[in-house]
C-alpha cells in the first residue's frame, strides 16, 4: 500500500517535472533579488581599464558619454551607463558631454540623469551638457569630432550651445579627454574611426554580450582602453564604485540560475544513465 | 574611392571580390542545375534524416488523428537577411501540405508576417485542390494569421500547440528569440518536432528541443531536395563546389599567411 | 507610471507566466489581448507609414514636380493590387506586388550574406599556420565545411572530415546555447525585479493562491472520478 | 495554363533582383537612387499586406463570436483590444502621444518582455530533458555548454579561475570553426535558393503551383 503510494507520488512528480523546475528557477531568481547574497564577482581587466582611466581624470578633463540605448538593449547596457555616469559625477571638475545616437536614447539619458540627481549635484551647462540626438550615424560623429559647434546649435533642452559656458572650451575631438560609447551596434567602430584614428582621443565601450567578441580584438590591439561587458560588466563596475545596484543584485541571481542549469543537466544525465543500466539488467 | 574600369562602368571598390565570387558560385550552381535538367548528370544527394522524419511524422499524425502544425517563421519576404530562409520554409511547406493532405492529416499553419500570409494560403489551398479535397480547406482556420509582432505571434502559436495538441510541429524559416519557447512547448505537448533555421543564435535551441533539425544550409538543401521538380537537386552539387572553393581558399590563404604573404586576403578585399 | 498601469501590466505578466503551470483561461485571455494589441499596433504603424513615407511624398511631389516623389504612386498601387488575392480569377495580379518585395528581399540577402558571411569569414579564417591553435582552427573549419557537402561521392572522398565537422558543430551548438543564457536571464531578472516591487508584489500571492486552489480542486476531482 | 500576370510577376522579380544586385557593385547615382527607392517601396507594399492579415484574423474571430463557438469570449477580448489600439492611434494621430504611449507601455511592452524572459524557464526544462549524453556528439554539446556557463556566470571564476579559461577555449574554437562554417554555408545556400527563385526555377515562393 505504502510503496504503491510512493510510486504514484514519484510518478506524478516525474510527470510534473517541468512545473517543479519552473518553480525552482523562480525561487532561485527571486531570493537574491529580495535579499542580495553578495556572492563574489571577479573583476575583469577590461572593466578595470575603464574604472582606472576615469579614476585618474583631473579637473578640466572632458568625458564624452555616447549612448545608443533603447528598449532592446537597456536591460544589459543601461546599468553600465548609470554606474559609469555616477563615477564621473563623483569626480570634481570633470566635464561631461552626453550625446545620443538613436532617437530613443535621449529619454534614457535623461532618465539616468534624474535617477542620479545630476541636476542637483552639478550645474547644467558648466559641469555637464546633454547634446541629444545626433543624426547621420558615422558622418554625424565625424561632424562633432571635426567641429561640434558648426554641426549642433542647440542642446537637448533647447539652450544654444554658445550660451553654455562649458561648451566654450570644447570645440572638437582634441578637446575630448575620453569617449565611452554605450551601444550594441556598429556605432562602436564609428567612434574608433572618427575620434581615435584621426585625433587620438581614447575610446572605451559598454556593450551587450553578443558584441563583445568583436571589441576584444580592439582591446588587445590597444586601440580602446576598456570594455564593460553586458550586465556582468555593469555589476563589476557597481562593485568597483561601491554602489551595488540592480546589476550586482542580478549577478547573484545569474550565478545561482547558472548553477541550477548545470545541476539540472547533471541530474538529468544521472537519471538517464541509472535508468539505462536498470533497463540493461 | 572608385576603381576605374575601361568599359566606362565604375565599380565600387571592395566589391570586386563579391562580384567574382557571386559569378563563380552562380555558374557552378547553374551548370549542374542545367546538367541535371538535361539528365546528363544524376545527382546522388545525401538524404538528411529530417526528410524521412517528415514523412514518418505525418504518418504518425494520421494514426493519432491529430493535426500537423507548421510555422514558416517570423521574417517577411522582403527581409534583408532572411528572405531566402522564409522562401525555403514556404517550399518545404508545399511538400508538407501535399503530403499531409494526401495521407489525410489536418494541417494548421500559423503565420506571422502579413506578406507571407497570401503565399501560405495559396500553397496549402493548392495542396487541398490537387489532392481533390478542396472542401476540407477552411479559410482562416487552416492557415491562421496570428500577429506580425514577434510576441503576439508566439503567444498565439503556443496557444494553438496547447489546445490542438498536434502530433507534429514543424518550425522552419527564421525564428528569433521565440524559438525556444515554441519548441519547448511543442515538446511538452508531445509533438514530434522538426525544425530548421538560418538564424545562428537560435539553432542551438532547436537542436536541444527538437527531434530533427535542419542546421543552416541543410534547410536550403532540404528545400531543393523536396522541390516538386527533382532536377532542382542539381543545384546542391553546385553548392558543394562553392564550399570546396571556400575550403581551398582558406587553405591557400593560411599557407601563404604562414610565410607572411597576405595576397589572398588582399584579393578578397578588392 | 501610475498605479493602474502597474497593476494592469502586472496582472498581464502573471497571466502569461501562468502558462508555466498549465494551459488556462487566464493565459488564453492574455494571449488574445496581446494578439489584438499587437495587430492593432501594427495597423496603426502601417497606416502612418503609408501616410508619412508614401502619401505625403507623393502629394509634395505633385506640388513640386519631383518625379522621384511622384513615383511613390507605384508602391501604393502595388499595395492595393495585393488585394486581388481575394479574386479567384485575377489572383495572379497580386503576385506582381509579391514579386517586387521578394526580389528586393532576395537580392539584399544575397548581397549581404555573400559579402559578410562568405567573403568576410573566409578572409577571417586565413590564419598563419604557426601555432597549434591556428592549425586546429583551419582544419576544423574545413571539416565543418565538408560536413555540409551533400553529394554522396564527394562526401565520401572527404573521409573522416565530415564526422569531425559534425562533432565541432555540436560543440558550437553547446557553446552558443550556453552563451545566450545570460542575456535571457537578464531579461527575466528585470521582469521579476518590477514584479517584486510594491504594488505589483501584492498580486503574486493572489496568483499563487489561485494555482493552489486549482491544484486542490483537480486532485479532488481526480480522486472522485477514481472512486 | 500559366497566366500572363504570373509570367509578368516572374519577369518583374528578375528585373528588381538584378537591379539591386548590380547596384551593389556598380557606382552609378541613378542606379543607387532606384535601388534605395525599391527598398522603400517594398516596405510600403508590405504595409498594405497588413490588411490581408487583419481581414483574415477579423473574419475568423467574428465567425467564432457569431456562432458562439468554443472560447468566443476570448475573441471579443481580442477584437476589443485591437479596437482600443486603433481608436487611440487614429484619434491622437500619432504613436508617440501620451495616451498611445500609455496603452503601449501597459499592454504590449510588459507582455513582450515577459514572453522574452520566459526563455529562461524553457531553457531550464530543456537542460533537464534534452541534454542527455546519449552519444559522443551529445556529450560534447553538453560539456561545451557547461564550461561556457561557468565562463559567463561570475560564480565560475570564483570556484576556480581555470574554469572560465577552459570555457574561453571552447568558445574560441566554436567561433573559429563551427560558427564560421555555418555562416559560410548560409551565404552559399542563400545564393543557391535566390538564384533558383530569381530565374523562376523554384516557383513556390511566388505562391503555389499554377492553376
Nearest-CA residue of chain B relative to D142? B208
What gap in Å lies between CA B86 and CA C71, rounded to an integer?
29
**Grid cell locating B11:** 565599380
Residues 6+ apart with CB under 8 A from A256: A28, A29, A31, A32, A37, A39, D155
Residues of B in contact with C148 (CB under 8 A): 216-218, 243
- What's the pLDDT score for residue B123? 92
Mean pLDDT of B27-54: 89
Whole-angstrom distance between the N-terminal and C-terminal Cα of chain B? 12
CB B245 within 8 A of CB D187: no
Closest-CA distance, D91 to chain C, in angstroms, reads: 11
Nearest-CA residue of chain C relative to A212? C179
Which of C181, C188, C190 is nearest residue A261 as measured by Cβ atoms? C181
Domain at A62, CATH number: 3.40.50.10160
The residues spanned by each domain of chain C are: 130-187
Q: Let me know whether D148 and D176 are in one domain.
A: yes
In a domain, D207, yes or no: no
Model pLDDT for residues D81-104, shown as the tens digit of each residue: 999 999 999 999 888 788 888 999
- Residue linked to cell 531550464: D124
Residue D191 has pLDDT above 90, yes or no: yes
Nearest-CA residue of chain B relative to D115? B151
The answer, for B219 touching chain D at a CB cutoff of 8 Å, is: yes
Contact D208 B125 (CB under 8 A): yes
In a domain, A230, yes or no: yes
- What's the pLDDT score for residue A185? 61
Model pLDDT for residues B96-131, shown as the tens digit of each residue: 999 999 999 999 999 999 999 999 999 999 999 999
Tally Cβ neighbours within 10 Å of residue B203.
27
Contact A251 D129 (CB under 8 A): no
Mean pLDDT of A23-51: 88
* Confidence class for position D2, pLDDT limits 50, 70, 90: low
In a domain, A131, yes or no: yes
Q: How many cross-chain Cβ pairs, A to C, lie less than 8 Å apart?
A: 52
Model pLDDT for residues A72-81, shown as the tens digit of each residue: 788 789 999 9
Distance, CA of A116 to chain centre: 16
Q: Let me know whether B190 and B87 are in one domain.
A: yes
Mean pLDDT of A194-215: 84
Determine which of B144-158, B225-239, C212-226 has the lowest per-residue pLDDT on average: C212-226
* Confidence class for position A2, pLDDT limits 50, 70, 90: very low
Model pLDDT for residues C165-223, shown as the tens digit of each residue: 999 999 999 999 998 888 888 888 888 888 887 778 888 888 889 988 988 888 888 77
In a domain, A270, yes or no: no
Contact A25 D161 (CB under 8 A): no
Model pLDDT for residues A56-93, shown as the tens digit of each residue: 999 999 999 999 887 778 878 999 999 999 999 999 99
List, as ranges, residues 159-198 from B with C-beta within 8 Å of C. 159, 162-163, 177
Percent of chain A exceeding pLDDT 70 equals 93
Residues 6+ apart with CB under 8 A from C97: C78, C79, C81, C82, D45, D48, D49
Strands B143-145 and B212-215: unpaired
Contact B144 D211 (CB under 8 A): no
Which of C13, C44, C191 is nearest residue D90 as measured by Cβ atoms? C44
Closest-CA distance, D200 to chain B, in angstroms, reads: 11
In a domain, A23, yes or no: no
* Confidence class for position D211, pLDDT limits 50, 70, 90: very low
Tally Cβ neighbours within 10 Å of residue D5.
17
In a domain, A252, yes or no: no
Residue C71 dihedral angles phi and psi, to the nearest 5°: -60, -10
Residue C53 has pLDDT above 90, yes or no: no
Domain count, chain D: 2
Contact D152 A22 (CB under 8 A): no
Task: Give the residue from D181, B215, B50 showing the smallest Cα distance to C165.
Answer: D181
Residues of the domain holding D141: 119-198
Model pLDDT for residues D124-146, shown as the tens digit of each residue: 999 998 898 889 999 999 999 99
Domain count, chain B: 2
Q: How many cross-chain Cβ pairs, A to D, lie less than 8 Å apart?
A: 83
What gap in Å lies between CA D191 and CA B29, rounded to an integer?
9
Which residues lie across from A224 on neighbouring strands?
A203
Q: Which of B22, B78, B110 to mutate to test the interface with D (most CBs of D within 10 A)?
A: B78
List, as ranges, residues 36-75 from B with C-beta within 8 Å of D. none
**Grid cell locating B255:** 599557407
Residues of C in contact with D100 (CB under 8 A): 44
Tally Cβ neighbours within 10 Å of residue B125.
18
What gap in Å lies between CA A38 and CA D158, rounded to an integer?
12
Closest-CA distance, B62 to chain C, in angstroms, reads: 25
Nearest-CA residue of chain C relative to D150? C178
Model pLDDT for residues A219-241, shown as the tens digit of each residue: 877 888 999 988 889 999 999 99
Which of C179, C181, C187 is nearest residue A75 as measured by Cβ atoms? C187
Q: Let me know whether D10 and D105 are in one domain.
A: yes
Task: Give the residue from D177, B243, B250, D173 showing the smallest Cα distance to C140.
Answer: D177
Q: Let me know whether D102 and D142 are in one domain.
A: no
Residues of B in contact with D50 (CB under 8 A): 114, 148
Residue A9 has pLDDT above 70, yes or no: no
> If DSSP states are collapsed to H, E and C, what string results for C55-115?
HHHHHHHHHHCCHHHHCCHHHHHHHHHHHHHHCCCCHHHHHHHHHHHHHHHHHHHHHHHHH
The answer, for C4 touching chain A at a CB cutoff of 8 Å, is: no
Residues of A in contact with C188 (CB under 8 A): 29
What gap in Å lies between CA D95 and CA C63, rounded to an integer?
28
- What's the pLDDT score for residue D208? 55
- What's the pLDDT score for residue A1? 42
The answer, for D135 touching chain B at a CB cutoff of 8 Å, is: no
Contact D189 B221 (CB under 8 A): yes
Q: What's the pTM value of the predicted model, to 2 decimals?
A: 0.86
Contact A75 C193 (CB under 8 A): no
- Residue linked to cell 543624426: A135
- What's the pLDDT score for residue A153? 85
Query: Across chain B, what does the average pLDDT equal?
Result: 91
CB A65 within 8 A of CB A98: yes
Closest-CA distance, C227 to chain D, in angstroms, reads: 30
Mean pLDDT of C64-85: 92
In chain A the beta strands, taken as DSSP E runs, fall at 62-67, 95-100, 128-133, 178-182, 202-207, 224-229
Residues in chain D: 211
Q: Which of D110, D136, D192 to mutate to test the interface with C (most CBs of C within 10 A)?
A: D110
Contact A34 C196 (CB under 8 A): yes
The answer, for B240 touching chain C at a CB cutoff of 8 Å, is: yes
Residues of the domain holding B200: 49-228
Nearest-CA residue of chain A relative to D139? A269
Write down which residue in D117, D147, D182 finishes a domain: D117
Q: Which of D88, D107, D202, D203 to mutate to test the interface with C (most CBs of C within 10 A)?
A: D107
Q: Let me know whether B31 and B99 are in one domain.
A: no
CB A206 within 8 A of CB A180: yes
Angle between helices B117-130 and C91-112 (to 10 degrees): 120
Which of C21, C22, C186 is nearest residue A231 as measured by Cβ atoms? C186
Contact D181 C165 (CB under 8 A): yes
Residues 6+ apart with CB under 8 A from D132: A268, A269, A272, D138, D142
Nearest-CA residue of chain C relative to D52? C83
Q: Let me know whether D82 and D144 are in one domain.
A: no
Which of C21, C182, C192 is nearest residue A29 as measured by Cβ atoms? C192
Q: Let me know whether D96 and D158 are in one domain.
A: no
Q: Let me know whether D29 and D13 are in one domain.
A: yes
Q: Let me know whether B128 and B180 are in one domain.
A: yes
Q: Let me know whether B63 and B140 are in one domain.
A: yes
Nearest-CA residue of chain A relative to D122? A22
In a domain, A38, yes or no: no
Q: Let me know whether B29 and B128 are in one domain.
A: no
Residues 6+ apart with CB under 8 A from D171: C175, C179, D148, D151
Closest-CA distance, A236 to chain C, in angstroms, reads: 15
Residues of D in contact with B130 (CB under 8 A): 209
User: Strand, coil or helix: what is B225?
Assistant: helix
List, as ranges, residues 29-88 from D with C-beta within 8 Å of B. 42-43, 46, 49-53, 56-57, 59-60, 63
Q: Cα D160–D161–D166 angle (5° rounding)?
A: 100
Per the omega criterion (within 30 degrees of 0), is the bond before C199 cis?
yes
Which of A39, A268, A272 is nearest residue D155 as measured by Cβ atoms? A39
Query: Across chain C, what does the average pLDDT equal?
Result: 90
Contact B29 D193 (CB under 8 A): no
* Confidence class for position B3, pLDDT limits 50, 70, 90: very low
In a domain, A272, yes or no: no
Model pLDDT for residues B128-138, shown as the tens digit of each residue: 999 999 999 98
Mean pLDDT of A170-196: 83
Distance, CA of A269 to chain centre: 36
Mean pLDDT of B89-99: 94
Residues of the domain holding A116: 45-242
In a domain, D161, yes or no: yes
Determine which of A179-188, B145-154, B185-194 has the lowest per-residue pLDDT on average: A179-188
Domain count, chain A: 1
Contact C108 D9 (CB under 8 A): no
Residue D1 has pLDDT above 90, yes or no: no
Query: Across chain A, what does the average pLDDT equal?
Result: 86
Q: Let me know whether B107 and B11 are in one domain.
A: no
Q: Let me know whether D101 and D51 are in one domain.
A: yes
Residue B25 has pLDDT above 90, yes or no: yes
In a domain, A257, yes or no: no
Amino acid at each position: 500500500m505504502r510503496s504503491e503510494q510512493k510510486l504514484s507520488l514519484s510518478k506524478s512528480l516525474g510527470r510534473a517535472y517541468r512545473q517543479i523546475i519552473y518553480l525552482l528557477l523562480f525561487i532561485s531568481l527571486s531570493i537574491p533579488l529580495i535579499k542580495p547574497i553578495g556572492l563574489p564577482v571577479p573583476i575583469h581587466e577590461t572593466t578595470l581599464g575603464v574604472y582606472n582611466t576615469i579614476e585618474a581624470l583631473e579637473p578640466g578633463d572632458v568625458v564624452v558619454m555616447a549612448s545608443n540605448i533603447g528598449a532592446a538593449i537597456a536591460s544589459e547596457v543601461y546599468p553600465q551607463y548609470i554606474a559609469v555616469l555616477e563615477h564621473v559625477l563623483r569626480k570634481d571638475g570633470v566635464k561631461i558631454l552626453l550625446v545620443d545616437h538613436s532617437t530613443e536614447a535621449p529619454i534614457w539619458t535623461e532618465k539616468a540623469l534624474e535617477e542620479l540627481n545630476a541636476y542637483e549635484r552639478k550645474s547644467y551647462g558648466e559641469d555637464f551638457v546633454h547634446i541629444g540626438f545626433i543624426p547621420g550615424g558615422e558622418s554625424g560623429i565625424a561632424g562633432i569630432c571635426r567641429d561640434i559647434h558648426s554641426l549642433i546649435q542647440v542642446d537637448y533642452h533647447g539652450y544654444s550651445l554658445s550660451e553654455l559656458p562649458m561648451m566654450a572650451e570644447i570645440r572638437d575631438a582634441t578637446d575630448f579627454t575620453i569617449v565611452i560609447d554605450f551601444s550594441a551596434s556598429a556605432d562602436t567602430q564609428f567612434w574608433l574611426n572618427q575620434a581615435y584614428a584621426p585625433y587620438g582621443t581614447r575610446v572605451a565601450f559598454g556593450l551587450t554580450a553578443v558584441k563583445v567578441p568583436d571589441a576584444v580584438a580592439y582591446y588587445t590591439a590597444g586601440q580602446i582602453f576598456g570594455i564593460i561587458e553586458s550586465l556582468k560588466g555593469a555589476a563589476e563596475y557597481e562593485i568597483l564604485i561601491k554602489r551595488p545596484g540592480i546589476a550586482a543584485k542580478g549577478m547573484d541571481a545569474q550565478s545561482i540560475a547558472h548553477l541550477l542549469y548545470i545541476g539540472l543537466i547533471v541530474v538529468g544525465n544521472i537519471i538517464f544513465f541509472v535508468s539505462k543500466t536498470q533497463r540493461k539488467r | 574611392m572608385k576603381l576605374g574600369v575601361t568599359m566606362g562602368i565604375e565599380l565600387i571598390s571592395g566589391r570586386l571580390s563579391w562580384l567574382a565570387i557571386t559569378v563563380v558560385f552562380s555558374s557552378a550552381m547553374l551548370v549542374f542545375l542545367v546538367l541535371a535538367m538535361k539528365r546528363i548528370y544524376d545527382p546522388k544527394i545525401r538524404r538528411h534524416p529530417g526528410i524521412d522524419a517528415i514523412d514518418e511524422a505525418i504518418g504518425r499524425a494520421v494514426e493519432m488523428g491529430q493535426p500537423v502544425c507548421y510555422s514558416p517563421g517570423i521574417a517577411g519576404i522582403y527581409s534583408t537577411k532572411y528572405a531566402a530562409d522564409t522562401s525555403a520554409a514556404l517550399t518545404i511547406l508545399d511538400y508538407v501540405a501535399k503530403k499531409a493532405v494526401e495521407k489525410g492529416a489536418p494541417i494548421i499553419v500559423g503565420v506571422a508576417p502579413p506578406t507571407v500570409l497570401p503565399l501560405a494560403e495559396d500553397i496549402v489551398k493548392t495542396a487541398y485542390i490537387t489532392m481533390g479535397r478542396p472542401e476540407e480547406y477552411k479559410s482562416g482556420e487552416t492557415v491562421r494569421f496570428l500577429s506580425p509582432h514577434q510576441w503576439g505571434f508566439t503567444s498565439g502559436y503556443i496557444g494553438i500547440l496547447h489546445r490542438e495538441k498536434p502530433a507534429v510541429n514543424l518550425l522552419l524559416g527564421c525564428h528569433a528569440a521565440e524559438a525556444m519557447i515554441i519548441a519547448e512547448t511543442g515538446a511538452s505537448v508531445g509533438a514530434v518536432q522538426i525544425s530548421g533555421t538560418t538564424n545562428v543564435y537560435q539553432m542551438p535551441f532547436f537542436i536541444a528541443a527538437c527531434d530533427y533539425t535542419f542546421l543552416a544550409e541543410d534547410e536550403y538543401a532540404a528545400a531543393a531536395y523536396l522541390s516538386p521538380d527533382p532536377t532542382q537537386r542539381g543545384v546542391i552539387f553546385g553548392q558543394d563546389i562553392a564550399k570546396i572553393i571556400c575550403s581551398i581558399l582558406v587553405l591557400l590563404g593560411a599557407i601563404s599567411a604562414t610565410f607572411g604573404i597576405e595576397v589572398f586576403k588582399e584579393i578578397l578585399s578588392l | 507610471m501610475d498605479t493602474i498601469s502597474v497593476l494592469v501590466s502586472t496582472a498581464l505578466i502573471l497571466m502569461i507566466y501562468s502558462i508555466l503551470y498549465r494551459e488556462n483561461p487566464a493565459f488564453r485571455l492574455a494571449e488574445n489581448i496581446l494578439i489584438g494589441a499587437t495587430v492593432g499596433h501594427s495597423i496603426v504603424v502601417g497606416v502612418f507609414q503609408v501616410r508619412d513615407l508614401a502619401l505625403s511624398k507623393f502629394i509634395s511631389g505633385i506640388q513640386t514636380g519631383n518625379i522621384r516623389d511622384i513615383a511613390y504612386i507605384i508602391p501604393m498601387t502595388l499595395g492595393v493590387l495585393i488585394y486581388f488575392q481575394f479574386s479567384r480569377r485575377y489572383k495572379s495580379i497580386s503576385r506582381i506586388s509579391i514579386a517586387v518585395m521578394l526580389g528586393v528581399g532576395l537580392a539584399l540577402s544575397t548581397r549581404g550574406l555573400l559579402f559578410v558571411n562568405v567573403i568576410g569569414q573566409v578572409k577571417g579564417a586565413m590564419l598563419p599556420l604557426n601555432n597549434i591553435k591556428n592549425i586546429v582552427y583551419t582544419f576544423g573549419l574545413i571539416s565543418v565545411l565538408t560536413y555540409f557537402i551533400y553529394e554522396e561521392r564527394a562526401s565520401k572522398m572527404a573521409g573522416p572530415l565530415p564526422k569531425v565537422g559534425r562533432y565541432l558543430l555540436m560543440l558550437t551548438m553547446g557553446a552558443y546555447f550556453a552563451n545566450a543564457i545570460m542575456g535571457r536571464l537578464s531579461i527575466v531578472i528585470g521582469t521579476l525585479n518590477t514584479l517584486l516591487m510594491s504594488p505589483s508584489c501584492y498580486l503574486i500571492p493572489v496568483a499563487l493562491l489561485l494555482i493552489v486552489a486549482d491544484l486542490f480542486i483537480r486532485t479532488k476531482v481526480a480522486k472522485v472520478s477514481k472512486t | 495554363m500559366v497566366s500572363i500576370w504570373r509570367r509578368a510577376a516572374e519577369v518583374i522579380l528578375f528585373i528588381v533582383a538584378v537591379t539591386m544586385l548590380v547596384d551593389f557593385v556598380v557606382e552609378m547615382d541613378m542606379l543607387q537612387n532606384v535601388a534605395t527607392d525599391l527598398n522603400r517601396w517594398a516596405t510600403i507594399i508590405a504595409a498594405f499586406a497588413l490588411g490581408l492579415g487583419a481581414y483574415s484574423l477579423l473574419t475568423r474571430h467574428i465567425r467564432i463570436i457569431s456562432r458562439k463557438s468554443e472560447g468566443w469570449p476570448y475573441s471579443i477580448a481580442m477584437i476589443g483590444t485591437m479596437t482600443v489600439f486603433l481608436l487611440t492611434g487614429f484619434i491622437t494621430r500619432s504613436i508617440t502621444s501620451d495616451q498611445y504611449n500609455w496603452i503601449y507601455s501597459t499592454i504590449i511592452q510588459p507582455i513582450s518582455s515577459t514572453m522574452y524572459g520566459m526563455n529562461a524557464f524553457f531553457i531550464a526544462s530543456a537542460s533537464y530533458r534534452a541534454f542527455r549524453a546519449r552519444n559522443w556528439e551529445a556529450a560534447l554539446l553538453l560539456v561545451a555548454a557547461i564550461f561556457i556557463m561557468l565562463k559567463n556566470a561570475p560564480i565560475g571564476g570564483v570556484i576556480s579561475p581555470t574554469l572560465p579559461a577552459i570555457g574561453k577555449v571552447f568558445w574560441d574554437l566554436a567561433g573559429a570553426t563551427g560558427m564560421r562554417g555555418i555562416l559560410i554555408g548560409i551565404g552559399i545556400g542563400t545564393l543557391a535558393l535566390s538564384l533558383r527563385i530569381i530565374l523562376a526555377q523554384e516557383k513556390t515562393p511566388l505562391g503555389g503551383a499554377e492553376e
